[in-house]
Structure 1
Amino acid sequence: MNPASHEPGHGPVALALRVILLLAYPVLSHVASLRSEGAWAALALFGLVLLCLLEPLARRRASAWLALFASGLLLYGVGASRWAWMLLLAPPVVFPLLVAWGFARSLLPGRVPLIGRIVQALYQRAGMPVTAVLERYTRRLTAAWALVLSLLAAINLGLAMSAVPDGLLAAFGLQPWWPVTHEQWSWCANIADWGLIGGFFALEYAVRSRLFPTRPYRNALDFMRQMGQLGPVFWRDLLR
């Protein structure tokens, strides 16, 4: 058994809670956009804050509990105003950009590309060597993910600027060139984004399967299972 599973915030209960919160956010955000109700938006954002603070909360850090309490009070206060919905515009821009930066930063000289670290861990567990051709592929794939996520963040920023009546341009009294409703923004930012990411992942997996038929996993499901077996500490430290 992985010793990390006994650490606060890294057990199966914490993992299940992370998955629930991650899946709940786009659903709550979409409901908030369809109903144009700040309370739903505040609830979605509070779940996101809880997701980000889960580990330090499990470690009983006073600063994390204080941050959660302060965030709850702030979101409760803005829940009755249009600012709650406007805050929903930020995560689809900020989070893809942060992850894209993690991919891009790993391409700097002296660092191992992020995809390369994952591949090395998987192949090492199976006792298989990582070839030079595969290393080059992982570097290019890391760059591709950085580009895809950056483009996704740029698209979401454009949508956030074009949303009416509470988008970024509208907040400054400017008329967007191509206005979109709350519902249209949500279908793109909360639903289509995941479809694009999943589609790119599926396409890349198909290409990888043809280029590298000998690999330590049998199929896509086995690949995901082995990725999970790398452990929470590995994934926590991956983007650092």
Structure 2
Amino acid sequence: MTSIGRAALVLAYPLVAHFGVIQNSVTLIAIALGLLIVLPMVPALGRGSVVAWLVLLPVVGGLWWLSRSTHATLPLYIAPVLVPGFMAGVFGSSLLAGQVPLIEQLIRIMEPEQQPEPEVLAYAHQLTKAWTLFFVTLALTNLVLGLLAEPDGMLLAAGIAPPVTVPELWWSLVANLIGYLLVAAFFLIEYAYRRHRFPRQPYRNMLDFFLKVLAAMPRLVSSAAGPRR
């Protein structure tokens, strides 16, 4: 599968999950969960990995069983908490003592021959902190809404009556749609501000910046294990 195809499936997940929830369709919910679970396995499946194909069998069986369960929606509450929580961990861990802030790492990869100015490094530190707080807030918001959602929220599914409840639609809108739009808005607003504050950039426009970030990702991931000052 091409990178465009995988990106299309990634974008399809929140839409399928949302419509599965609002239409109370166990079929759509099972498809959404299938996308969530199988997407990370696609490269291995494409290579013909025996292990990946063997793992796929119980996954399909589990999705079939879940589609017949009275709590088919419940697993959908996990991803909107884990994904931003994981991203908060990635950004936040780079702020620990002795580590290099993630945005600074990205700057140094994109401009290997340039020594960033002190003002740029300070901004990189603050931006890394801002992304960390943003993802923490998003994860906590999704968790609280998921706990309080009615009729299939996490507390009610566990037999615990929450002090207040929110419609499951509200949770789904935030977790599967609004949250992703907020990430995009944060990215766009920050990009515009950065271009205004630091006019000299190693990219021509947003598309060029996005492509350069994608190109830098392999090195950024490999260095995330613990680059130190």
TM-score, normalised relative to structure 2:
0.89
Which of 223, 226, 229 is the matching residue for 2:215? 229
Answering whether residue 110 of structure 2 is matched by residue 122 of structure 1, we say yes
Alpha-carbon shift at residue 85 of structure 1 (Å):
0.8
Helix, strand or coil: the match of 2:129? helix
Q: Check 1:117–1:78 CA distance in 2 against 1; reply closer, same or farther (3 A cut).
A: same
The answer to whether the Cα contact below 8 Å between 1:38 and 1:82 also exists between their aligned partners in 2 is no
Answering whether residue 204 of structure 2 is matched by residue 218 of structure 1, we say yes
Alpha-carbon shift at residue 188 of structure 1 (Å):
1.0
2:73 corresponds in structure 1 to: 85
The answer to whether the Cα contact below 8 Å between 2:106 and 2:220 also exists between their aligned partners in 1 is no
1:141 corresponds in structure 2 to: 127
Helix, strand or coil: the match of 2:63? helix
2:193 corresponds in structure 1 to: 207
| Counterpart Cα distance in 2 of 1:54 and 1:143 | 32
2:51 corresponds in structure 1 to: 63
Answering whether residue 100 of structure 2 is matched by residue 112 of structure 1, we say yes
Task: List alignment gaps of at least 5 residues for structure 1.
Answer: 1-12
Which amino acid letter does the alignment assign opposite residue 155 of structure 1?
T
Percent of aligned positions with the same letter in both sequences?
33
Mapping of residues 183-198 of structure 1, within 5 Å? 183-198=169-184
Deviations 1:147-174 (CA, angstroms, capped at 9, x unpaired): 1101100000001001111101111333
Q: Check 1:123–1:21 CA distance in 2 against 1; reply closer, same or farther (3 A cut).
A: same
Alpha-carbon shift at residue 220 of structure 1 (Å):
2.0
Answering whether residue 23 of structure 2 is matched by residue 38 of structure 1, we say no
Aligned-CA RMSD value: 2.0
1:99 corresponds in structure 2 to: 87
Which stretch has the larger CA shift, 47-56 or 154-163?
Answer: 47-56
The answer to whether the Cα contact below 8 Å between 1:28 and 1:44 also exists between their aligned partners in 2 is yes
TM-score, normalised relative to structure 1:
0.85
Q: How many corresponding residue pairs?
A: 225
Which amino acid letter does the alignment assign opposite residue 163 of structure 1?
A
Deviations 1:83-138 (CA, angstroms, capped at 9, x unpaired): 221110110001110111011111223322211121112122xx443222212211
Task: List alignment gaps of at least 5 residues for structure 2.
Answer: none
Off by >6 Å, runs of 4+ in structure 1: none
